[in-house]
Amino acid sequence: MYLCGATVQAAPHIGHIRSGINFDVMRRWLTYRGYDVTFVRNVTDIDDKVIQKERDLGIPWWQIAYANERAFNDGYTVLGCQPPTVEPRATGHIPEMIEMMQALIAGGHAYAADGNVYFDVKSYPDYLELSNQKLENLLQPAGEGETGKRDPRDFAMWKAAKPGEPSWQTPWGSGRPGWHLECSAMAHKYLGKGFDIHGGGLDLIFPHHENEIAQSKAFGDDFANFWVHNAWVTLSGEKMSKSLGNSVLVSAMVQRWRPIVLRYYLAAPHYRSMIEYSEESVREAEAGFGRIEGFIQRVVERCGAVEPAPEVPLAFAEAMDDDFGVPQALAIVHTAVRQGNSALTADDKENAVARLAEVRAMLGVLGLDPLDPQWSGEDRGEDLHGVIDSLVRLVLDQRQAARARKDFATADAIRDQLGLAGLVIEDTPSGARWTINNQ
């Protein structure tokens, strides 16, 4: 798998991390199905946006890129994404890019002009097949400094150096890579002439992925067998983006919401479905995941630790095999939770344990099992959930003391006050337990 990763001119918002989560779920499922998955996710650490940030902030481009690369990796990690097999940076692969350009020029697919290197789109007859556009209808205005084009629709593989900008030496003069060339060179280096899945956001189909295909296939690679594009996270109907100023940063979100809840929120819709962000929709996701988590907690309290089942239910597998159908797969999870809760009500511990084993197996391949060690250190800043739990426990101890001295009016008043705060108190044989009211 090759996933177009971050352009690291700024810290990640939840739209960026949605892509990471979607492809993490795909990778986990393919691994569960027995595939040996090599997962490459690149970092674009040099491009027009990074250079503009250098001008705006007066900070070296590499310092901006590295700080934001770390912010992206922190975001992936806190939301439970497994690290890629390799995470190459564009600037670490200039020799591979030069080699690819030399071959394309020699083959008549590219040409040098004024220190730039352009791909001749007419030399590749299948250009635009992915996006189903017509070349005669394509408007591709030249970017700043893109002089010497034979055809305005030709795209830049290499950009001639400008004063004060970072540059690398090539046979055609000093300059820096074009965005599209980076991914073709890195995919070839780490995945060879052909590989299975190429992924990225919906907005990358054109021009980025079209240009990747043209370069790589003209170079002689088979390139990707399947293209998988995740939809956006939108706000007021617009794509969430840093340039529009409507982004919701991951670093802020994990201070307000538990990371596992955010992962559930971003993973639950189908990867091809848009997510319209709102606080209400995150609260709904929190309630949905809370029902799953509450069931898990109740079974563990009554029956002890339960290991995941060795296999997921057939219906869950069928849903995931059908274009990674996470919404349908989660419906199977919730059905098992309802069945397990009914078993608990009937004191059928054997059935409840069996349902929990299934639930843990299903959640495991989605990266959402709250009992998995990856979530053992889950927190929000100062471990807000743990702080709340400690405070509620103090109040529950006072309630229990009131009950012990038969002061039931005080005990009921404490319970009612906790209810007004949004908590549900359940008295169990092992003591009082609190949960958030999801109604």
| Residue closest to 1 by CA, chosen among 317, 224, 229, 266 | 224
Residue 323 zone, left/alpha/beta (φ > 0; ψ -120 to 50; rest):
left
Segment 219-241 shows an average pLDDT of 92
How large is the average pLDDT for residues 103-114?
98
Provide the percentage of residues in the chain whose pLDDT is more than 70.
Answer: 94
Mean pLDDT, all residues of the chain:
92
Q: Tens digit of pLDDT for each residue in 11-70?
A: 999 999 999 999 999 999 999 999 999 999 999 999 999 999 999 999 999 999 999 999
Per-residue confidence band for 380, with pLDDT thresholds at 50, 70 and 90: very low
* pLDDT at 97 exceeding the cut of 90: yes
DSSP, residue by residue, 27-84: HHHHHHTT-----EE-BB--SHHHHHHHHHHTS-HHHHHHHHHHHHHHHHHHTTPPPP
What is the distance in angstroms between the CA of the first residue and the CA of the last residue of the chain? 41
Q: Could you write out the DSSP letters of every residue in 245-314?
A: T---BHHHHHHHS-HHHHHHHHHSS-TTS-EE--HHHHHHHHHHHHHHHHHHHHHHHHH---PPPSS--H
State the pLDDT at residue 386: 56
Domain ranges of the chain: 382-439
pLDDT of residue 382: 40
In the block, tokens 């370069």 appear at 215
Q: Angle 199-204-205 (CA atoms, 0-180°, nearest 5)? A: 85
State what percent of residues in the chain have pLDDT above 90: 80
Q: Which two tokens stand for residue 94?
A: 């200039």
- As a whole number, mean pLDDT of residues 292-318 equals 96
